[in-house]
Structure 1
């Protein structure tokens, strides 16, 4: 837990500058390490980082002071295998609501990409994927680069500009929104990634055709895990299954660099289901003062609200909302 990049100062301090006007977060006695920001009007507190993390693990404290009274606390994006001992707390209620599927490539028992694919990918798919990779590399001058703390500010600026261009191009073609292209979100990721890279907490994996980036993935790191944060590719190379080729090289890089987990994080995409060998769920955890009527009502409201959002996703009704949102904000993608 302590190694999570989302609990370290680099991520948290820059996130607070972008989304909490630089104000210091609040600490509460019921939980260790996590810090919170307050809702503008309600006695509701959200974990710093909110939905911009790729998963938060936490553990309840053995100390419970009176600072929880009359309050509601929402912890976003908790993997279902989090070992927080929430059942021990008798003064605070807790709702756990499933929200997004998650996907992991557990690489601990594998010594090569070929071994992983032999075990986890069907024979037919292995043949096709390797064929796409060979054709791509035979048709273009392809090379692969993982940028870590060796990147220069000038190179970083160039890659991030290319990254945004490719992401816009892909989602303009898909005619749907990508939340990462929201100006506030993109400004945050651009601001936070370079300091994280210099602290070995992030990396950028690039597939090049000669000197032109054609696939870019933003990655975050803990001690033994690599988190897929944002990925995209040039749709002009789509017939070569460039996205899958990029994943193949990233799995290969993980195994060679003793990274035990490649976490595709939250949200369903077909490629995640194909490549991952351990599906799981992200949950939202809602803690509240059980003796406060107001806190109980607010907690129940948020529980039902998040459950309704999950229902909409399962019925794929959110896709329609994203398509309408794209029409309303198409200029953001076309610029």
Structure 2
């Protein structure tokens, strides 16, 4: 894996041979993790550079001949710090007021009311068939979601590496896949990494047809629940201040760029001095948000300028007068009608019907459909 494709998160970095040779132990939130001394040939390296190290970690060197330079980065991370006695309920009680708690628990209840929902954590055991199926579903979700947003996902350049290596990492208890299923269909997937008592949600996405159901919040809720049931104290959401992270997080921290070099090597010290200056300039530019200009420009040029069909949605009660005789029942689970799925999901979120109770009819005279539940129905018309 080339340098630019390395996964830049501590659960992966801290298990590398370099780190095991350099550091005797790590400390975080009154916990200490020891590294076993290993016979590893580093080819007499005298310089190391590690970025995105959470400031809450203390790293204890083995070799006193190395000098450490710590540069605070203009990046903030978000995580959920749990008490050893926590349950999902006690954490939410502490983190949210009653209104917010009701909103997030309602997402979970509504999802389970409307679909045949299963939750599965693949950790230490997964078949290759399940693995390939889930990873392909995750990839498809990411592509579809970011196309809808007219954005590019920043981590897709490493996808081939993830696909090739994650299976063995799951088997070796270094990674996991958390999946929310509707029957046998994955509708939300999170790829996680594990370090000691930390679960790091590295890459996740969901089926955008289910957007109404707040699957991102359901995923966090259920993974916190998993953490409390398995003795984990930290659910990491990593770098970036997205709104959902701010809501759930109770541990906001800054990242550090750590540079190690030999004290006795003067030639290296000069190179390190230049390198440090470059890093400081980079962080200064980030503090002025210079790094955000190019993504904004790229997003502007990626905007979808094609004309889309207009959709007219009308809701009715079952006792309202409607000309059902002009409509014919269709199999809405057919791929031919997959474009209706997001409207069906939105309808049952509001009606609280179960998906199996839904009937869909097509107007035989125009491009319109009826979604019919137990007590309500909805007209969907596509107008060019």
Question: What's the TM-score bracket when you normalise by the shorter of the two chains?
Answer: 0.7 to 0.9
Preserved contact between residue 14 and residue 20 of structure 2 (Cα < 8 Å): no
| Larger RCO: 1 or 2 (CA < 8 Å, sep 6+) | 1
Asked whether the equivalents of residues 11 and 193 of structure 2 are also in contact (C-alpha less than 8 Å), the reply is: no
- 1:302 is aligned to 279
RMSD between aligned residues: 3.4
Q: How does 1:262-273 map onto structure 2 within 5 Å? A: 262-273=235-246
Structure 1: gaps spanning 5 or more residues: 13-24, 35-56, 62-66, 328-335
- Of residues 131-140 and 235-244 in structure 1, the stretch that sits farther from structure 2 once superposed is 131-140
Name the structure where helix makes up a greater proportion of residues.
1
Contact 2:23 2:60 in 1 (8 A): no
The answer to whether the 8 Å contact 1:95/1:303 transfers is: no
Aligned-residue offset at 1:312: 1.9
Deviations 1:188-217 (A, max 9, x none): 111221111111111100011111111000
Q: How does 1:323-334 map to 2 (within 5 A)?
A: 323=299
Cα deviation 1:100-139 (Å, max 9, x = unaligned): 2111211124431111111112221111112222222111
Residue 229 (1) aligns with residue 236 (2): no
Contact 1:204–1:217 (CA under 8 A) maintained in structure 2: yes
Unaligned runs of 5+ in 2: 1-9, 26-32, 38-43, 304-384
Which residue number corresponds to residue 98 of structure 1?
Answer: 73
**Higher strand content, 1 or 2:** 2
Q: What residue number does 1:112 align with?
A: 87
- Asked if the contact 1:214–1:233 (Cα under 8 Å) also holds between the matched residues in 2, the reply is yes
Q: How many residues align?
A: 277
**1:7 counterpart residue number:** 14
Q: Please tell me whether the aligned partners of residues 289 and 295 of structure 1 are also in contact (alpha carbons under 8 angstroms).
A: no
- Say which one has the larger Rg: 2
| Residue matched to 2:166 | 193
Question: Is 1:152 the counterpart of 2:127 in the alignment?
Answer: yes
SS in 2 for 1:99: strand
Once residues 5 and 27 of structure 1 are traced to their aligned partners in structure 2, the CA distance between those partners, rounded to angstroms, is: 10
Q: Secondary structure at the match of 1:111?
A: coil
What's the counterpart of residue 219 of structure 1? 192
2:355 counterpart residue number: none
Alignment check: 8 A CA contact 1:58 1:82 kept = no
Cα offset for 1:97? 2.8
Asked if the contact 1:286/1:303 (under 8 Å) is kept, the reply is no
Using the TM superposition, give the Cα deviation of residue 298 of structure 1 relative to its aligned residue in structure 2, in angstroms.
3.0
TM-score, normalised to structure 2, is: 0.64
Distance 2:141 2:118 in 1: 18
Partner secondary structure for residue 84 of structure 1: strand
SS in 2 for 1:179: coil
Give the Cα separation in 2 of the matches to 1:271 and 1:26: 35
When the two structures are superposed, what TM-score results if normalisation uses the length of structure 1? Answer: 0.72
